[in-house]
């Protein structure tokens, strides 16, 4: 095992270390810490979305307390709502996100709803807009779902302890005008995944997954998806910290996670995820969200809508796809009638958009 010493932990806890010190620009982005029942939100009042959300993973992640009513999202109306602890000028509204959806956006959970089903109260907190980030719909329903499921599977490893996931966003340098909504849409999103191992008490296993906030079309016919290409190398961490304005060691100290040595998670667990029928279907649905948004004409949109209806039985419900179909049709008609103003996100400026990884996998962790 090729280890390296990064930092002698100061052993400071969140009882001593102020949360503002975790970010180098906490005042610029008006960051405040919102503590929920099962996750912490480092929320930006200026951007109106979280810069970072911390959650823990265990064998019980995604399970409902035996004394509570079972939670099945298929039969529950998503309780999205504004966080009552935030003033209106520091939060987007549901209408703001509706406007964003017309351009291929979605309400992206940081702490996933499916991983916080202990009770309805806990589950409901994940739908607070303080836990939501403007996220491209193909990414949200596809690759991002694979990240979330891979993290959840870590809880089944009986030798892993203190599994912690930090989900965050890298803000754009400019805002977009989406109808009458002004919105900063993150240019990238990431997950910092770390854990301890019972056999290596002085080592923290950690990796950082980064992707652009753009469409990633996943081959839903493959039996396995390798997520390692989204892990940044040790050499790329300084640039990542510059972009996020994070002080990684202070973040780890804040949650008493820091160790004298750090190693990649791939030294312990596989970074591939096996595609069961449920995940394969999710990726197929994700592909068809793209077909509802990224079209060159209304005629192409109508043809795609006719085709997707053939999958109605397989998809069980087409309500969300129908909503994007109707919003895209409205966007095209508004453009024709001169009612569409502002500059759309880059993913719509080029319909044939192909994502390019901003981080190329190079040398992994080393001394």
Share of the chain above pLDDT 70, in %: 88
CA distance from start to end of the chain? 11
Residue 178 — φ and ψ, nearest 5°? Answer: -115, 95
Whether pLDDT at 183 is above 90: yes
Whether pLDDT at 236 is above 90: yes
Q: Could you state, in order of their start, the residue ranges of all structural domains in the chain? A: 4-349
Q: CA-to-CA distance for 4 and 301, rounded, in angstroms?
A: 53
Whether pLDDT at 67 is above 70: yes
Residue of 315, 291, 316, 313 whose CA lies nearest to 304 = 291
Q: Assign domain 4-349 one CATH number from 3.30.300.280, 3.40.570.10, 3.90.420.10, 3.40.50.11540.
A: 3.40.570.10
Whether pLDDT at 197 is above 60: yes
Q: CA-to-CA distance for 202 and 208, rounded, in angstroms?
A: 20
- pTM beyond 0.75: yes
Least confident window among 261-275, 312-326, 331-345: 331-345
pLDDT of residue 271: 96
pLDDT band at 127 (very low <50, low <70, confident <90, very high): very high
pLDDT of residue 119: 94
Whether pLDDT at 289 is above 70: yes
Q: CA-to-CA distance for 128 and 78, rounded, in angstroms?
A: 10
pLDDT band at 51 (very low <50, low <70, confident <90, very high): very high
Gyration radius (Cα) of the chain, Å = 21
pLDDT of residue 9: 41
pLDDT of residue 27: 86
How confident is the prediction for the chain on average, in pLDDT? Answer: 89
Q: What is the pLDDT of residues 7-33, one digit of tens each?
A: 444 444 555 678 989 999 878 899 999
What HEC string does the chain produce?
A: CCCEECCCCCCCCCCCCCHHHHECCCCCCCEEEEECCCEEEEEECCCCEEEEEEEEECCCCCCCCCCCCCCCHHHCCCCCECCCCCCHHHCCCHHHHHHHHCCCEEEEECCCHHHCCCCHHHHHHCCEHHHEEEEEHHHHHCHHHHHHHHHHHHCCCCCEEEEEEEEEEECCCCCEEECCEEECCCCEEEEEEEEEECCEEEEEEEEEEEEECCCCCCCCCCCEEECHHHECCHHHHHHHHHHHCECHHHHHHHCCCCCCEEECHHHCCCCEEECCHHHHHHHHHHHHHHHHHCCCCHHHHHHHHHHHHHHHHHHCCCHHHHHHHHHHHHHHHHHHCCCCCCCCCHHHHCCCCCCCCCCCCCCCCCC
pLDDT of residue 337: 78
Instruction: Please say whether the beta carbons of 214 and 136 come within 8 A.
Output: yes
For 65, other C-beta atoms within 10 Å of its C-beta total: 12
Instruction: Pick left, alpha or beta for residue 187 (phi over 0 → left; psi -120 to 50 → alpha; otherwise beta).
Output: alpha
Instruction: Kindly state the average pLDDT of the residues 273-280.
Output: 96
**Overall size of the chain counted in residues:** 367
CA angle in degrees (0–180, nearest 5) for 193-198-202 = 75
Q: What is the pLDDT of residues 134-181, one digit of tens each?
A: 999 999 999 999 999 999 999 999 999 999 999 999 999 999 999 999
Q: CA-to-CA distance for 26 and 39, rounded, in angstroms?
A: 19
């Amino acid at each position: 095992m090729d280890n390296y010493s990064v930092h002698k932990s100061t052993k400071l806890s969140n009882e001593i270390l102020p949360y503002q010190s975790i970010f180098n620009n906490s005042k610029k982005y008006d960051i405040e810490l919102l503590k929920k029942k099962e996750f912490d939100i480092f929320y930006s009042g200026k951007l109106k979305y979280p810069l970072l959300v911390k959650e823990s993973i265990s064998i019980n992640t995604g399970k409902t307390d035996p004394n509570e009513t079972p939670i099945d999202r298929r039969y529950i109306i998503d309780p999205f709502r504004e966080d009552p602890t935030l003033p209106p000028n520091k939060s987007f509204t549901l209408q703001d996100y509706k406007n964003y959806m017309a351009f291929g956006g979605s309400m992206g959970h940081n702490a996933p709803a499916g991983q916080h089903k202990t009770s309805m109260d806990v589950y409901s907190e994940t739908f607070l807009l303080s836990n939501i980030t403007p996220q491209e719909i193909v990414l949200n329903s596809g690759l991002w779902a694979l990240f979330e499921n891979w993290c959840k599977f870590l809880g089944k490893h009986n030798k892993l302890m203190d599994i912690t996931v930090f989900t965050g966003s890298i803000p754009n340098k400019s805002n977009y005008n989406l109808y009458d909504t002004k919105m900063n849409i993150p240019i990238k999103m990431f997950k910092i995944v770390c854990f301890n191992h019972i056999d290596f008490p002085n080592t923290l296993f950690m990796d950082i997954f980064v992707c652009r906030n753009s469409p990633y079309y996943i081959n839903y016919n493959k039996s396995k998806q390798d997520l390692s290409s989204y892990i940044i190398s040790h050499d790329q961490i300084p640039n990542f910290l510059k972009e996020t304005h994070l002080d990684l060691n202070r973040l780890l100290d804040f949650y008493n996670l820091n160790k004298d040595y750090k190693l990649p998670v791939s030294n312990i667990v596989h970074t591939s995820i096996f595609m069961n029928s449920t995940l394969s279907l999710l990726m197929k649905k994700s592909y068809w969200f793209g077909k509802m948004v990224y079209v060159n004409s209304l005629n192409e949109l109508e043809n795609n809508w006719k085709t997707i209806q053939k999958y109605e039985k397989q998809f069980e419900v087409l309500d969300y796809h129908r909503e994007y179909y109707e919003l895209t049709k409205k966007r095209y008609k508004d453009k024709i009638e001169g009612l569409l103003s502002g500059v759309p996100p880059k993913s719509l400026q080029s319909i044939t958009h192909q994502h390019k990884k901003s981080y190329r996998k190079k040398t992994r962790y080393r001394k």
